[in-house]
Amino acid sequence: DRIAGLIELTGKSGKNNQPYLDLSANLINFNLLANIPVTDKFSVTAAWRRSYIDQWQNFLFYRLIDDLDNTNDPIQSTIIPVIKYEDINAKISFHPSDNLEFNINLLYGSDDQSRDFELIQTKDYYRNESLNGNNAGVSINMNWQANNEWFHYLSAGFSSLDKSIIDETGELKEITEIIENPGQGIGKGKGLAKTREKSYTRLTSDIDNGTNHLEEYRAWWKSTYDKNNFRTDAGIGIVSDMYKYRFFAQQTEQNIQSDSIVDNNKMTLINGFLQERFNINDV
């Protein structure tokens, strides 16, 4: 809800003795944040965001529509956007003691966007650009203060992303339908008159289609030993990434595939570090 400034992200600890609920909304989406302390050591925090501009055509929706209708201009164009997204986040926290904490994090999100163009002139055209995406993830974290000198941290998780883009271009063909007896025998003409209804059908000529799938597995362990003026940090982690990508362009009238790209790959990275700090003077 800002156009400039600094962004700070702070994760909710979930360690709360009282339940709370936070509701907010703007012209695009609705937000809900809730915390439920099940016991003194167990709590659940969840957040939900859902757009409703696709259901409620408010002022902002009409500002996003570029509708040019000039009778003096032989070319008329219409642009209709569609925006629809949803995000769900949940965090389950368990504190068996003051020195030990476990967190399970869950994430799911969906994003649907499209822009529809219609160009009315001597020969009518249309173009539809749509994007659909889904991402999901789960992770577990552990923070353990073993004693005054030792601290351990463990994190492991999985995340995935599926995304597809479809662009269609074609011709708008006008169809005029003549309806017999529209009045069903009622009226001066006893319903024997005829009426004309005009509509358009879309004849697709070109399609650009692309799909993308990503997966990541991650695990990380870090330990800290802090005593007197010496502090030692050590850790080891592994990350495995995989992606699949496919794109093709096709002309439907001639059924000709004009371009295509298919690729997939996988990479695994293992890393570790050791760091020693020494304070010359006592702080």
Report which secondary-structure segment, H or E, holds 244: strand 230-251
**Residue 186 · residue 160 · CB < 8 Å:** no
Q: Report pLDDT digits (tens) over 91-123.
A: 999 989 889 999 999 999 999 988 887 777 667
pTM of the model: 0.72
For residues 176 and 183, give the distance between their C-alpha atoms in angstroms, rounded to a whole number: 19
Which alpha helices (H) appear in 39-79, and where do they start and end? 59-64
For residues 51 and 272, give the distance between their C-alpha atoms in angstroms, rounded to a whole number: 42
Q: What is the pLDDT of residue 69?
A: 45
**Cα separations in angstroms, 36 against 19, 93, 152, 217, 229:** 5, 10, 27, 29, 42
Main-chain phi, psi angles of 62, to 5 degrees: -70, -25
Q: What is the pLDDT of residue 269?
A: 96
For residues 73 and 78, give the distance between their C-alpha atoms in angstroms, rounded to a whole number: 14
Confidence of residue 70 (pLDDT cuts 50, 70, 90): very low
For residues 14 and 40, give the distance between their C-alpha atoms in angstroms, rounded to a whole number: 11
Q: Report pLDDT digits (tens) over 196-240.
A: 666 667 787 888 889 999 999 999 999 999 988 889 999 999 999
Q: What is the pLDDT of residue 143?
A: 93
Main-chain phi, psi angles of 22, to 5 degrees: -130, 125
Q: Report pLDDT digits (tens) over 15-31.
A: 567 888 899 988 888 99
Q: Report pLDDT digits (tens) over 150-205.
A: 999 999 999 999 999 998 888 877 777 666 655 555 555 454 555 666 666 778 78
Q: Report pLDDT digits (tens) over 27-37.
A: 888 999 999 88
Q: What is the pLDDT of residue 107?
A: 94
Q: What is the pLDDT of residue 108?
A: 96
